[in-house]
Structure 1
Amino acid sequence: MATTENTFYEGQVLWAQIDANRHLRHSAYADFCAQARSNMLKSIGLSLTDFAKNQIGPILFREELIYYKEIHLDEYIRVEVEMNKYNTVNSRFSFRHTIYKENGVKAAEVNVDGAWLDLKTRKLVAVPTDWQSYLDRIPTSEDYVQIDE
């Protein structure tokens, strides 16, 4: 399976991830993408432990799944992650996940919009300023938009 520098998850589809129609269940797509985002953050130097120390967590406002091809039991998939929008003022973000079948065919696209949540106050928060160098390492899409106002 061909991987790219933006591939942050590769794995086999398990029996527990299959639905009654004998293909990957809808919620498994979200699970694969969440793991890919977590792997991506860790790869740039921000592990979930770092988020916990700062009592910050990601929160999603929207998750959109676009299906292209079915994924079946025992297939191997890979998930690419790219940030396609970031607001530097309020730390809101958008990520595009592209899921590929083992033969390289695009199976799905998952788009999410979110922000960072202060786990104490339960309010949106900007990430610590010293994290900016980490955020600059997140892969961005060709249509990436940064909002600075």
Structure 2
Amino acid sequence: MENNIFYEGQVLWSQIDANRHLRHSAYADFCAQARSNMLKTMGLSLDIFAKEKIGPILFREELIYKKEIHLDEYIKVEVFLTKLNLKNARFSFQHVIYKENGEKAAEVNVDGAWLNLAERKLTDIPAGWYDILKKIPRSADYQEVNV
């Protein structure tokens, strides 16, 4: 598990809801930070996105709750690439959020693509980025397509 951890942190007061557990949108925030950390670690920083005028965009986000997460708990987030289209760089990621005791607290699955930030249209990525994406940890059921 440790090699695929791209976010670790404490649950803050501001991330708790009225039921005294982690609010739903905080799960998405943790996963977005984990994806950003993972992409930067692999070689795709926000500065590179800005230079190329390309950024990731999500079409779907699915959250599956397993265990409650409470105030002051420390969590870890794993990120796996579950699908990559080699023709147009569409992608899917799985995030697994663990409680500090190691229990799986949630799974977040996302599907996305790349947006040309100047034209505001979907775009392919520079050829060299495919080599970077191939370094990302893959899920056990990873699919590579070329459609």
Q: How many angstroms apart in 2 are the aligned matches of 1:63 and 1:134?
A: 23
| Structure 1 stretches of at least 4 aligned residues deviating more than 6 Å after TM superposition | none
> How big is each residue's C-alpha offset from its partner over 1:65-106, in whole Å with a ceiling of 9 and x where there is no partner?
000000000000000000101111111100000000000000
Q: Which runs of 5+ in 1 are unaligned?
A: none
Q: How many angstroms apart in 2 are the aligned matches of 1:66 and 1:132?
A: 29
Q: How far is 1:135 from its partner?
A: 1.2
Q: How many angstroms apart in 1 are the aligned matches of 2:44 and 2:88?
A: 19
2:120 is aligned to 122
1:15 is aligned to 13
* 3-state SS of paired residue (2:3): coil
2:143 is aligned to 145
1:78 is aligned to 76
Residue identity opposite 1:146 in structure 2: E
2:56 is aligned to 58
TM-score, with length taken from structure 2? 0.98
* 3-state SS of paired residue (1:5): helix
Residue identity opposite 2:54 in structure 1: I
Q: How many angstroms apart in 2 are the aligned matches of 1:132 and 1:91?
A: 8
1:135 equivalent among 110, 120, 133: 133
2:106 is aligned to 108
Alignment pair present for 1:39 and 2:37:
yes
Identical-pair percentage: 71
Q: Work out the number of aligned pairs and report it.
A: 147
TM-score, with length taken from structure 1? 0.97
* 3-state SS of paired residue (1:85): strand
1:4 is aligned to 2
Could you say what the CA RMSD is over the residues aligned between the two structures, in angstroms?
Answer: 0.7
Residue identity opposite 2:20 in structure 1: R
Q: How many angstroms apart in 2 are the aligned matches of 1:85 and 1:130?
A: 18
Q: How many angstroms apart in 1 are the aligned matches of 2:113 and 2:58?
A: 7
